[in-house]
Amino acid sequence: METLVKKRNGLFPSIGSKSVNSFFDDFITKDLFDWTDKNFAGLGSNLPSVNLIETDTQIEVELAAPGMKKEDFKVEIENDVLIISSEKEEEKEEVRKKDNYVRKEFNYQSFCRTFSLPETANENKIEATYKDGILHVVIAKKEGTKKRNLKSIPIK
């Protein structure tokens, strides 16, 4: 005689060969506890990766955002904070009257990254370019600012 309720390897029982809550079981056991994807893309994050490079004369921000256009970005400075944001909405509709078929899809993406600028940053000399999927922001440093020497702190 076959049992109606069976225990799977997961957290929830199954009835016959069908799981009662296989979606929740898979979500809890696979997605929630899977920390192998360090950028949390598996959890739905769409925050673009950033490189920050500081030289004696400038600060560079490289933001990876492939598939976008330069018009999709907004780069602003407010209270010594660099704000890079984007909102992109797409809508597609396909209609076939002879088949009585309508398909409508939409997609919405947005992000906002903020960076506190040091006192040495010259807010009046900032350039931004977008090429090959990389938004490149260059912030010049104020003239006459000295690079501070590296000071090692002993650990006790």
Q: For residue 130, what pLDDT is reported?
A: 95
pLDDT one-digit tens code per residue, 88-138: 888 888 888 888 888 888 888 889 999 999 999 999 999 999 999 999 999
pTM here? 0.59
Q: 46-141 in CATH: which number?
A: 2.60.40.790
Q: How many residues does the chain have?
A: 156
The CATH 2.60.40.790 domain(s) of the chain lie at 46-141
Alpha helices in 44-97 (DSSP H): none
Q: Is 106 exposed, middle or buried (0-12, 13-18, 19+ CB in 10 A)?
A: exposed
